[in-house]
Structures are given as structure tokens and as C-alpha cells.
């Protein structure tokens, strides 16, 4: 069974979906650590409620990205983490973590990449008046939502769609898709490492 760390910055609904999938036996992984760059985020409360170790920090309390990523790396090493799972983590991953976890970081993004990368993807989709958006799970590289795509699922945008209704639709898809894709990637990596 692979050890994973989930990185989040906010509510942590995808973090919860991952925990629920593990409990349901849908995802064969140990969630060893939550990493959160917002100590007041609800994701931290979820970790406490579920008995998951967490490391919460504020980026501005470090001299640079390398500083806090080295501390994160120390925690990942301490908990023998095999994979990093980004779930609403609003920071670009830097060279320190990219080199240590090369090919072992995945992210979920609320659009059909390469369309609408970065922040406020749902707002970007509504502003562009597109009829379809969706969810993308991809490997992480040094760019902003530019890594190789693993899976995508579409979400139709209604005429009267609001950011709230679109967010609800996207979250429903994310909470099903992400644990399934994580399971697929972990199973595949196990086979490849034998």
C-alpha cells in the first residue's frame, strides 16, 4: 500500500473525498499527512477530525519557496510518503519537491486543460461563455497546470449557470474522479516498480 500526502489550501473537500474513498476500500492508500499553507483552512479541521497528521505553515514566514519546501520535504520523509496528491493547493510546486518526487505528484484542476489554467478556472469558463468545462487530473511539472494529462471528464455549462452551481457540478465530478484516478496511478506505479 502506498503512502500519500495530500496538499490543500482551503476547504479540503477533495481531501475528504480521498479519505472517504480509503475508508470505503475504493482507494488502496495510506493518507499519512496533510500539508496546508493556510493554518486556518477547514482542510486542517478535517485532518484533525480524521486523525490525520498535518503540517500547516504560512509561506511568508520563510525566506523563500525553497525554505518551506525543504521543511515539507523533511515531513514527507519522516512519514515515508511515496506520492504527493494536490487537492486545491494554491501554490506552484518548486524544484525542491519536484526533484524529490519526480513523476510522483498529481493535481486536480477544475477545467478541461489546457483551457483555463491557474486560479479561478470556473470564473474564466463562465466569462468565456463556453458550453462545456470539466475536470482534469494531471501529473505536475514546473509549469502552471501544464503537466501530462492523466484523465479528464466534461461538465456541461447551463445557460443560467452561476459560479456556485458550476462549482457544485465540478465538485461532484472531482470527488468521484480523483480517488479513482489516484487508485489507477498507484496501481500502475506498483506494477511498474516490480
Question: pLDDT tens for residues 152-183?
Answer: 999 999 999 999 999 999 999 999 999 999 99
Active site residues: 109
The per-residue pLDDT for range 21-51, each reduced to its tens digit, is 999 999 999 999 999 999 999 999 999 999 9
Composition of the chain by helix, strand, coil, percent to 5:
40, 20, 35
Closest residue by Cα to residue 82 from 137, 6, 21: 6
Q: How far apart are CA 112 and CA 173, in angstroms?
A: 12
Position 190 pLDDT exceeds 80 = no
- CATH fold, domain 2-193, is Rossmann fold (3.40.50)
Which band of pLDDT confidence, cut at 50, 70 and 90, is reported for residue 192?
Answer: low
Element (H, E) at 32: strand 29-36
**pLDDT tens digits, 47-92:** 999 999 999 999 999 999 999 999 999 999 999 999 999 999 999 9
Residue ranges per domain, the chain? 2-193
Chain segment 94-147, per-residue pLDDT in tens: 999 999 999 999 999 999 999 999 999 999 999 999 999 999 999 999 999 999
Amino acid at each position: 500500500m502506498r503512502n500519500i500526502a495530500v496538499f490543500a489550501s482551503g476547504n479540503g473537500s477533495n481531501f475528504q473525498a480521498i479519505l472517504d474513498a480509503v475508508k470505503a476500500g475504493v482507494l488502496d492508500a495510506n493518507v499519512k499527512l496533510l500539508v496546508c499553507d493556510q493554518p486556518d483552512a477547514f482542510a486542517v479541521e478535517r485532518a484533525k477530525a480524521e486523525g490525520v497528521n498535518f503540517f500547516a505553515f504560512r509561506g511568508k514566514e520563510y525566506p523563500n519557496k525553497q525554505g518551506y519546501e525543504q521543511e515539507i520535504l523533511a515531513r514527507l520523509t519522516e512519514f515515508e510518503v511515496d506520492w504527493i496528491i494536490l487537492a486545491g493547493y494554491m501554490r506552484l510546486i518548486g524544484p525542491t519537491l519536484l526533484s524529490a518526487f519526480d513523476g510522483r505528484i498529481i493535481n486536480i484542476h477544475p477545467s478541461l486543460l489546457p483551457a483555463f489554467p491557474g486560479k479561478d478556472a470556473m470564473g474564466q469558463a463562465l466569462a468565456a461563455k463556453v458550453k462545456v468545462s470539466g475536470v482534469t487530473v494531471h501529473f505536475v511539472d514546473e509549469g502552471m497546470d501544464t503537466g501530462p494529462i492523466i484523465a479528464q471528464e466534461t461538465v456541461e455549462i447551463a445557460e443560467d449557470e452561476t459560479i456556485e452551481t458550476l462549482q457544485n457540478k465540478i465538485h461532484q465530478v472531482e470527488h468521484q474522479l480523483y480517488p479513482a484516478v489516484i487508485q489507477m496511478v498507484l496501481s500502475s506505479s506498483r506494477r511498474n516498480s516490480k
